[in-house]
């Protein structure tokens, strides 16, 4: 549920420290709860996806009632500075042209049907990526009957990218580490 506000760092008397480390994504939600060491991304999953998708990955982004901060930092990946396309990863307009979906936001009750329809429209095999604290756990909206308390409660998630919002370098590192 961490939104990276820094309050826990100030209250922990040095036990918790925020760093500039952007290598914080993982393939298992349980691995986001940590004692300080995050496990490496699952090697078998990386090989599985590389075999399925080769050198190209087409993704459909779904905003499921978020504040738009995660979307903004994903959009930055298309700029000349990051140039995600040079790695063979692109965002497409239709789920029918996608290899997977990237979901942002806490998945509101009103967006759940649209999200599931997008997932169904994406041809198999497909990947699901949860970006941001809201998508992973509900973030600050946890407990509200209007949202889902984690995308993995309704869809099988292959990659979790934490943050509020995740820095573009965190998103880039996660996509390249997991799929390339």
State the CB neighbour count (10 A cutoff) for residue 146.
11
Domain total in the chain: 1
Residue among 27, 13, 18, 102 nearest 66 (CA): 102
3-state secondary structure at position 103: strand
CATH number of the domain where residue 172 is located = 3.40.50.12280
Q: How far apart are CA 100 and CA 58, in angstroms?
A: 7
Residue 121 lies in a domain: yes
> Could you report the per-residue pLDDT of 16-51, keeping only the tens digit for each?
777 777 777 777 777 776 555 444 444 445 555 566
How far apart are alpha carbons 23 and 170 in whole angstroms? 6
Tell me if 37 is assigned to some domain: no
In a domain, 51, yes or no: yes
In a domain, 101, yes or no: yes
Domain that holds residue 165: 7-11+23-31+42-179
Q: Is residue 147 part of a domain?
A: yes
Residue 82 covered by a domain? yes
In a domain, 55, yes or no: yes
Which tens digit of pLDDT belongs to each residue from 93-109? 999 999 999 999 999 99
Q: Is the pTM of this model over 0.95?
A: no
* In a domain? residue 1: no
CA distance 119 to 164: 24
């Amino acid at each position: 549920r961490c939104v990276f506000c820094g309050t826990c760092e100030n209250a922990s008397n040095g036990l918790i420290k925020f760093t500039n480390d952007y290598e914080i994504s993982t393939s298992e939600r349980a691995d986001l709860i940590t004692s300080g060491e995050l496990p490496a991304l699952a090697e078998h999953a990386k090989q599985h996806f590389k075999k399925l998708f080769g050198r190209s990955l087409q993704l459909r982004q779904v905003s499921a009632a978020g504040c738009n901060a995660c979307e903004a930092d994903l959009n930055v990946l298309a700029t000349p500075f990051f140039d995600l396309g040079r790695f063979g990863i692109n965002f497409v307009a239709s789920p029918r042209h996608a290899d997977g979906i990237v979901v942002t936001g806490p998945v509101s009750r009103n967006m759940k049907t649209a999200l599931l329809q997008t997932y169904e429209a994406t041809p198999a095999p497909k990947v699901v990526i949860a970006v941001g604290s809201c998508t992973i756990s509900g973030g600050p909206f946890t407990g509200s009957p209007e949202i889902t308390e984690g995308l993995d409660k309704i869809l099988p998630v292959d990659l979790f990218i934490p943050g509020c919002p995740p820095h573009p370098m965190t998103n880039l590192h996660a996509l390249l580490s997991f799929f390339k």
